[in-house]
Structure 1
Amino acid sequence: MYDNEQVLAAFRLYSQLSRDGQADTESMRQYIANDMIRGLVDQFAQEVDCTVIPAGDKLYLVPIAVTSPFHVKNATLKKEFLSAKAKNIDLYMMYLAILVLFGEFYDSYHSYEMTRDFITMGNWLESVDARIQALKEHDPEDLQALDAEYDYNWSQLVEKWDAIDDLRESSKQQDGRTNSRLGFLSLVQNFLIQQGLVSDLGNQEITLTEKAKTIVQRYYMDTEYNRGILELISSLERRKEGA
């Protein structure tokens, strides 16, 4: 049975997580050391389709289903991180870019240990482009079949990537205002930084945070969450290397 102090301590910790998305080092120590408090906090998180993860010196509240009130809604992603004109296909492209980025740190989705310390924006761009080019090698009918199998708009992704103006890729000003592929990745980078998933090292180099590493190890490789999309992306890399 839980006593009153344990319930209050657990509620205070959960309140901090729900308000800030994270809790400080002392709260994490309390969470890890006290089984009763940890059990209660985990139950509170489950009620809102979230999980609690210790990473580095902090605790994080992470939504694990779109039904969670803490899940970032598509409308919010478009409005706050992409552009007022963004469409659903921009979200698909954003999701693909994030999957490719994480894969670059983890030996193409087959390892739970990081194989590199950082990646440049240019390398990230090249990696996304390589996957898109491999997709373009499929016949249109094959792409449509992949759309249906994975419930993912691969066909439109190819069209979207081709439509992005890449004539200014060499421009020194590559940010959210630049209508280019690198400019798009800059918007995705800003989202990942805001979510505490990557750190900007300067010189257009980024690395994963402890929060991101823990999420990758727990959920990223799990087919239940990625719907087999990672395996397809990995096959695109193998296709690229075999070309």
Structure 2
Amino acid sequence: MDYKQEEVMMAFQIYAKISRKGYSEGDELRLYLADDKVRGVVDQFAKEVDCTIFSVGERLYFIPLALNSPFHISNDTLKKTYFTAKTVNADIYFMYVTIIILIGEFYDSYQTIEPTRDFISMSDWLEQVNERLETLQAIEEEQLQELEKEYEYSWRAIIEKWTDLDDLKETAKAQSGRTISRLSFLHTVKKFLAAQELVQDIGNDELQLTEKAKVIVQRYFMELEYNRGILEFIYSLDKQKEEG
């Protein structure tokens, strides 16, 4: 397909804006949806940096699909933006696990395309995290080591982080004034998800998924290529608990 210089420049302008802000709207959205050639070039630009573009409502969104994408949020950025100077990689691993569990609660343990519930409370989310981590903690050390090799994921570090968080003293305060608890950790994760426009706080300590989140889940989150089998493993913890 032949492209005019004008088409390529319009495509680049859309790509430059959306890659910088993470989204685009207005004239860029209308042009992207209306012009096949411009859309094709924009999509190709995104593909070259392991990202994808999709529209939800009145916005175009730009998200990375691979860890090696230059637009993937680094651990250092997460630590500086959402956590504290004492944050270690185990906090980040644990954050990802809590997000996976949250998504699973909306999608009937990863077996459905459409959400099976409208919202979840923070306390229900915490309960589901606790149940799965308790099951994970019961796995013998040698088996955990094998699971870490298989999934390239630090399950033992996650268990240690979860154990260290004090969910029994919800009113206890650290010197910084923050509650030291699993629930407060989930509030930090919620802050991250809300900033990425993936969840919306609807009040009463309840969350719902955004349309952006639903599109990501439907198109990419369930695919083995992107989740590396971790979804299936987390779901298997439910079965182990039922059989135990």
TM-score category, normalised to shorter length: over 0.9
Question: Counterparts of 2:129 and 2:167 in 1: how far apart (Å)?
Answer: 14
Question: Counterparts of 2:118 and 2:84 in 1: how far apart (Å)?
Answer: 31
Corresponding position: 1:117 with 2:118: yes
Deviation for aligned residue 1:108: 0.3
Matches within 5 A, 1:128-167: 128-167=129-168
Deviation for aligned residue 1:32: 2.0
Give the aligned residue type for 1:82. Answer: F
RMSD value over aligned CA atoms?
1.7
- Provide the secondary structure at the position in 2 that maps to 1:23: strand
Q: Is the 8 A contact 1:50 1:65 kept in 2?
A: yes
* Structure 1 portions without partners, runs of 5+: none
Going from structure 1 to structure 2, the CA distance change for 1:163 and 1:171 (only over 3 Å counts) comes to: closer
Match of 2:18 in 1: 17
- Provide the secondary structure at the position in 1 that maps to 2:201: strand
Match of 1:97 in 2: 98
Match of 2:33 in 1: 32
Question: Counterparts of 1:170 and 1:123 in 2: how far apart (Å)?
Answer: 19
Match of 2:229 in 1: 228
- Provide the secondary structure at the position in 2 that maps to 1:71: coil
Greater alpha carbon shift after TM alignment, 38-47 vs 148-157: 148-157
Match of 2:212 in 1: 211
Question: Counterparts of 1:103 and 1:48 in 2: how far apart (Å)?
Answer: 28
Match of 1:201 in 2: 202
Give the aligned residue type for 1:158. Answer: I
> What is the number of residues matched between the two proteins?
240
Deviation for aligned residue 1:171: 7.3
Q: Is the 8 A contact 2:199 2:210 kept in 1?
A: yes
Alignment deviations for residues 44-65 of structure 1 (CA, whole Å, 9 cap, x no partner): 1122221111123211010112
Question: Counterparts of 1:66 and 1:155 in 2: how far apart (Å)?
Answer: 22
Alignment deviations for residues 147-195 of structure 1 (CA, whole Å, 9 cap, x no partner): 12111111222222111111223679xxx92210000001111111111
Question: Counterparts of 2:167 and 2:85 in 1: how far apart (Å)?
Answer: 20
Give the aligned residue type for 1:33. Answer: A
Deviation for aligned residue 1:97: 0.5
Tell me the TM-score normalized by structure 1: 0.93
- The percentage of counterpart residues that share the same residue type is 53
Greater alpha carbon shift after TM alignment, 231-240 vs 21-30: 21-30
Tell me the TM-score normalized by structure 2: 0.93
Going from structure 1 to structure 2, the CA distance change for 1:39 and 1:146 (only over 3 Å counts) comes to: same
Question: Counterparts of 1:106 and 1:171 in 2: how far apart (Å)?
Answer: 34
Give the aligned residue type for 1:184. Answer: F
Give the aligned residue type for 1:179. Answer: I
Q: Is the 8 A contact 2:197 2:212 kept in 1?
A: yes
Question: Counterparts of 1:11 and 1:133 in 2: how far apart (Å)?
Answer: 49
Going from structure 1 to structure 2, the CA distance change for 1:25 and 1:209 (only over 3 Å counts) comes to: farther
Match of 2:127 in 1: 126
Going from structure 1 to structure 2, the CA distance change for 1:57 and 1:241 (only over 3 Å counts) comes to: farther
Q: Is the 8 A contact 1:25 1:59 kept in 2?
A: no
- Provide the secondary structure at the position in 1 that maps to 2:159: helix
